[in-house]
Structures are given as structure tokens and as C-alpha cells.
């Protein structure tokens, strides 16, 4: 199992891209602006897109992805998401005003896009990779994901603030090798972090203290221009797991 980081920033500018992880060659976890760097061949190979939530930085490239590959594919792209997230996509994105409804074309029976509502906690197996939605606590309905190849697994928080249920579920994972978790704001912005349901370093550390295992921890979704101060604040805590900054283009092999 291979995870390629297409984008891991909370925003854009100077080459930064928003959240998207490519699992092997055929599964996207979120579809932020980083998707746009893939070749047309690589885009056409994507069969499944798992969305954490409906915010634009996580779905921005989904409409362009579908439009770009439809002439190269015979099977639909399956979008897995919470029912609430699917409803937002139908109402506010694929509504013919913002973008065509790829769930209706070219034929209702054989569309380019099909939706698969997620049941949180229920594992879905895809060619040896098992994907399970994890709890999250964000300003809209949201999940994280556990990616498990049967030997090792990666937990990804998506966008979240403090969430005891997330840590409880992650602590059930016996083979956790890697944790990718957001920290969007610096400690000076803890109020903003809470109102927008994100983490800052002090809230992150409270969460890490609940973690039983010792995975490699990577920090993602840093706000552009604040990455250095956020990572300095995390380093100053001298946490034994020594979280590292997730890098755009990084490939994690499990």
C-alpha cells in the first residue's frame, strides 16, 4: 500500500495545494487542488474518491476530475461520503448551475459519477485495502479515514477539532503505523481554531496524550504562512512521538 501526498496545505499559494491523498493508483482520499498535478492517465485510473467532508478545499478538483476523464473511462467514478456530504454535492455543486450533474450523464443508468453513502465504522474492502470512516468533530458533518492493508494501517483525521471518539477508535487499531492529523492554526488562534472546529498545537497535544500506540505522526492542513510557527510550537512540547510536517509529494509506503 502506497499513499502519495498530492496536497496537504490549508490553502494555496507558492505551489501549495489543498488536501488530497492518492492511495495506490486508484483511490483518492479527498480531492483538493493537489489532484490537478496528476497526468491525464493517472486521473483516469482513479476509481474511488473518499471525501472527509464537503468543504471546498477537500472537493475543489472533483468536478474537474470527472470532466477531464469521462471520455477515457467506461466505468463510473464512485464517490464515498457521508449522506450529508453527498446532499451538499448534489445541491450545491453538481446542480447544472455550478457544474453538470455527472450522476445523470451520459445516461441515468450508466452515469460518470455514482454516490456511495458511508456508514461510519463499517469497513469497506477494495482489493486488499480496507477503508473505514473514523469520527471527526468539524463545523460540518465530517469523518477521518483508516487505511489498512491487513498488516499496517494509516489513520487520517481529516478536518477536526478535539474529538475523543476519534482517539477511542484509533486506540482500537492494533497495527497503526502512521497517523496523519491536522493542525490548522497556531496557539495564538485557539479561539479561531475552536470556532472553526480545527486544531492548534495545544489541542493536538491533548489528543496525542490519549493515544496508546506509537505511530509515526505527520501534521497536515497547516495554514499558509503559519506552518513554521505551528511546527515550532509543536516541537517546543517535546512530545515523545515527535510529530513531523507532512510534505507535498511525500510517498508513504506500508
* Residue (57 or 233) nearer to Zn ion, CB: 57
* From candidates 1, 20, 38, 55, binder to Zn ion by CB under 5 A: 55
User: Total number of residues binding Zn ion (CB under 5 A)?
Assistant: 3
* Residue (148 or 159) nearer to Zn ion, CB: 159
What residue has cell string 489528543?
Answer: 207
Q: Is 57 among the residues that bind Zn ion (CB under 5 A)? A: yes
Interface of this chain with Zn ion, residues 186 to 245, rule: CB under 5 A: none
* Residue (78 or 137) nearer to Zn ion, CB: 137
Nearest approach in angstroms of CB 198 to Zn ion is 8
Give me the 106-135 binding string for Zn ion, x by CB under 5 A, dash otherwise: ------------------------------
Tell me how far apart the 2 most distant CA atoms of the chain are, in Å. Answer: 56
Nearest approach in angstroms of CB 58 to Zn ion is 6
State how far the Cα of 106 lies from the Cα of 89, in Å rounded to an integer.
Answer: 18
Nearest approach in angstroms of CB 52 to Zn ion is 8
Nearest approach in angstroms of CB 156 to Zn ion is 12
Give me the 156-175 binding string for Zn ion, x by CB under 5 A, dash otherwise: ---x----------------
* Residue (57 or 148) nearer to Zn ion, CB: 57
User: What number of other Cβ atoms are within 10 A of residue 185's Cβ?
Assistant: 26
State how far the Cα of 75 lies from the Cα of 34, in Å rounded to an integer.
Answer: 23
CA 215 to chain centre: 18
What residue has cell string 476523464?
Answer: 69
What residue has cell string 458511508?
Answer: 118
3-class state of residue 131 by DSSP: strand
Asked whether the beta carbons of 77 and 116 are under 8 A apart, the reply is no
Span from 52-60, 91-99, 108-116, 124-132 in contact with Zn ion (CB under 5 A):
52-60
* Residue (130 or 165) nearer to Zn ion, CB: 165
Based on its alpha-carbon atoms, the radius of gyration of the chain, rounded to whole angstroms, reads: 18
Give me the 131-160 binding string for Zn ion, x by CB under 5 A, dash otherwise: ----------------------------x-
100 — phi, psi (to 5°)? -60, 155
Strand order in the sheet with 153-156: 124-126, 129-135, 143-148, 153-156, 176-182, 216-220, 244-245
Q: Which residues bind Zn ion (CB under 5 A)?
A: 55, 57, 159
Amino acid at each position: 500500500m502506497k499513499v502519495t501526498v498530492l496536497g496537504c496545505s490549508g490553502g494555496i499559494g507558492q505551489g501549495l495545494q489543498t488536501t488530497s491523498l492518492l492511495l495506490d493508483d486508484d483511490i483518492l482520499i479527498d480531492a483538493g487542488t493537489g489532484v490537478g498535478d496528476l497526468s491525464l492517465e493517472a486521473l483516469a485510473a482513479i476509481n474511488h474518491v473518499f471525501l472527509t467532508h464537503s468543504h471546498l478545499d477537500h472537493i475543489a478538483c472533483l468536478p474537474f476530475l470527472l470532466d477531464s476523464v469521462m471520455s477515457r473511462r467506461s466505468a463510473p467514478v464512485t464517490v464515498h461520503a457521508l449522506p450529508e456530504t453527498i446532499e451538499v454535492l448534489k445541491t450545491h455543486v453538481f446542480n447544472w448551475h455550478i457544474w453538470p450533474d455527472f450522476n445523470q450523464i451520459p445516461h441515468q443508468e450508466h452515469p460518470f459519477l455514482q454516490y456511495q453513502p458511508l456508514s461510519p465504522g463499517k469497513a469497506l474492502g477494495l482489493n486488499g485495502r480496507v477503508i473505514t470512516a473514523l469520527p471527526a468533530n468539524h463545523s460540518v458533518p465530517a469523518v477521518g479515514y483508516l487505511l489498512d492493508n491487513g498488516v499496517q494501517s494509516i489513520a487520517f483525521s481529516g478536518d477536526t477539532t478535539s474529538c475523543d471518539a476519534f482517539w477511542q477508535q484509533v486506540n482500537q487499531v492494533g497495527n497503526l503505523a502512521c497517523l496523519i492529523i491536522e493542525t490548522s492554526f497556531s496557539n495564538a488562534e485557539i479561539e479561531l481554531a475552536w470556532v472553526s472546529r480545527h486544531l492548534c498545537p495545544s489541542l493536538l497535544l491533548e489528543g496525542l496524550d490519549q493515544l496508546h500506540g506509537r505511530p509515526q505522526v505527520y501534521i497536515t492542513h497547516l495554514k499558509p504562512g503559519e506552518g513554521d510557527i505551528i511546527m515550532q510550537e509543536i516541537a517546543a512540547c517535546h512530545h515523545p512521538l515527535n510529530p513531523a510536517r507532512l510534505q507535498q509529494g511525500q510517498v508513504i509506503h506500508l
